[in-house]
Structure formats: C-alpha cells, structure tokens
Amino acid sequence: MSGRHARRDDVDDGSLDSLLVLVAESLGYASRRVPGDVMLLEGANRLHVSMRNLRQLARLVPRDDWPALVSDHVTTIVTAIEEPLDLSDFDLAQHLLRTRIYPAEADNGILAARPFAPGLIEVVVVDTPTTVRTVTTDEMEGWPVSGDALFMLGRANVRADGPLQLDEQDLGGVRMAVLHGWTFYAVTHLAWLDEYLPIGPYGALVIAPNRSLIVAHPIQPVEGGPRARYRAAAAAARELQGQAHHAYEDGPGSLSPYLYWWRAGELSLLETRYEGDTLVLPPELTSVLTTLTAEP
C-alpha cells in the first residue's frame, strides 16, 4: 500500500484502532471501544474519538502516513480539551467564534447548540490556530451576547472567512450546483444559499452529506407541463440521494445522508419512497410542482 491511498477494506483491518491506542497511551489515556463506532479515551479527561471519521481521513492518505495522521488527530483532540482557553474576555473571544453544523447525536446537553435541520444541529465553536472546539453553555455565562444573537455573530464570522467555491455540474444528467471548500463550516453556508444561487419561491433540493460539501438543485419552471416538471424533480431527487449516500460514507466529517428541501432559509426533510424502480415524491412537493408548471 505504500504510496497509494487506502481502499475501504484496508482501513477496517484494525490498524487504526491499534495506532490510536498507542498514541492515547503516550498522552496518558486508556482507550476502549464504546457504542456508536467511537473510541473512549479516559485519563485527565474523558474524550470521544469518532472511528468513522478517522477511517475517512485515513482513506485520503497513503498507509505509511497513518501513524502521523492518527498522532496529529488524537493530539489535536486532547489539546483542545487540556489547553486552557480563557473565554471570559468576550471582546477577544468574539472574533474566534463560528457556528458549525454537527449531526444531532453530537449534542450532549451542554453545548451551545440549536436545531439547524432534521438530524442536524448548529453549534457555537471557537476557531483557534491549532484546533476547533465547541463552546458550552457554562462558558457563555457572563457574555454580553447570547441566544440567537450569538449564533448570528458566529454565522457572520463564517461569512467573513470568505465564500465557498461554486461549480455547476451535470450529475447523472441533472444540472446541479456544487458548493465546496476545505473548511469545517461549509454547511453553515446553507443559511444563505440564495446568495449563491438564483432560488425562487419554490426553493431547492439540497444535500449536506459532510462538512465540506453542499449540492443543490433549484426548483425552476420547465416546459412540458406538470408531468415533465415532476419527472425532472424526481430525477434530481434520485441523483441527490445517491450522491448524499456516497459522500456521507466517504466523509470526512459525515453529517447527513438525507435529502432536504430548502425554502427561504429553512430546511425540511424530503421523504421520498419507491414504487418498484420509480421514485415517488411527497405530496407537498408534488403540489408545488403542479402550481409551478401551471404558471404562464
């Protein structure tokens, strides 16, 4: 495997687990597997390391680089917890704040978090030169900004970091907008998706499978009547679902394998079903498509 990126089966042979245990021991932590594909590190603190995410990162580099990858990954997590970070001076801390999207199961009850979409939460984090770490509700106490205003500040800082790259691509014969960037905060940009794309009142079909990727298909009028519009939307939904599944599995930073309907900055889960090999759209979207194509 030297000099080549790892295949999916190569990263499941137990090597990463062994490397993690060795690195954790060198940092004074014992390790054990817990449910959820997580390794629990116990020492000066209790830390959780996602093995899914670690495997996804390992697939991006040659096997010979795994020891360095695991060492850097675990050390960064430990450092984020152990190194003191004084957040009491809000005038200094506010410039480090961002909002990052996580799977809903990441909410442990003490995070500065709120719902973002079905299955996803928006979390206030501190972005330092060496790591990104979450903010707890206790750390927020005493700050002059809280609630929605704090999340808006975090979003504003994400926006100030610069835009994502936007590419128009034909995926499975369907025109898609692909927004991506090597950043932990790409999916936060869904909050202002309409600044990237011409999205009308009927919204867009979107996926956010991992932390660096958004794929969207704006719902626009097409010629041919309601049936043509339905077929086009169903084709887009089918392609997006396939893309979401693969990108969620590949990662890194898996978020959601599901399809969403973006409307006026809000995301709802788009629940489709199959009748044989035919994808069936939910009635609410079908009604909108009928209205859309009936317009002159």
Using an 8 Å Cβ cutoff, are 293 and 229 in contact? yes
pLDDT of residue 53: 86
| Residue 177: CB atoms within 10 Å | 20
Using an 8 Å Cβ cutoff, are 101 and 211 in contact? yes
Using an 8 Å Cβ cutoff, are 234 and 253 in contact? no
User: Which tokens hold the place of 68?
Assistant: 């360095």
pLDDT tens digits along 200-234: 888 999 999 999 999 999 998 777 677 888 888 99
Distance from C-alpha of 256 to C-alpha of 250, rounded to nearest angstrom? 12
pLDDT tens digits along 110-160: 899 999 999 999 999 999 877 888 888 888 887 898 889 999 999 999 999
Nearest to 68 by CA among 101, 33, 8, 19: 19
Q: Who has greater pLDDT, 131 or 29?
A: 29
Mean pLDDT of the chain, nearest integer = 88
b/e map 235-255, b = 16+ CB within 10 Å: ebbbbbbebbeebbeebbbbb
pLDDT tens digits along 181-192: 989 999 999 999
∠ CA 175-166-154, nearest 5°, is: 130
pLDDT of residue 3: 38
Mean pLDDT, residues 49-55 taken together: 88
pLDDT tens digits along 234-266: 999 999 999 999 999 998 899 999 999 999 889
pLDDT of residue 85: 74
pLDDT of residue 10: 63
Q: Which residues pair with 121 in a beta bridge?
A: 102, 115
Find out whether the peptide bond into 201 is cis, omega within 30 degrees of 0. no
| Residue 20: CB atoms within 10 Å | 21
pLDDT value at 13 more than 80:
no
User: Which tokens hold the place of 31?
Assistant: 């390790």
pLDDT of residue 229: 84
Helix (H) or strand (E) holding 100: strand 97-103
Distance from C-alpha of 149 to C-alpha of 146, rounded to nearest angstrom? 6
Q: What is this structure's pTM?
A: 0.84
pLDDT of residue 11: 64
Q: Please give the distance of CA 57 from its chain centroid, rounded to a whole number.
A: 15
Distance from C-alpha of 82 to C-alpha of 72, rounded to nearest angstrom? 15
Nearest to 186 by CA among 80, 59, 99, 76: 99
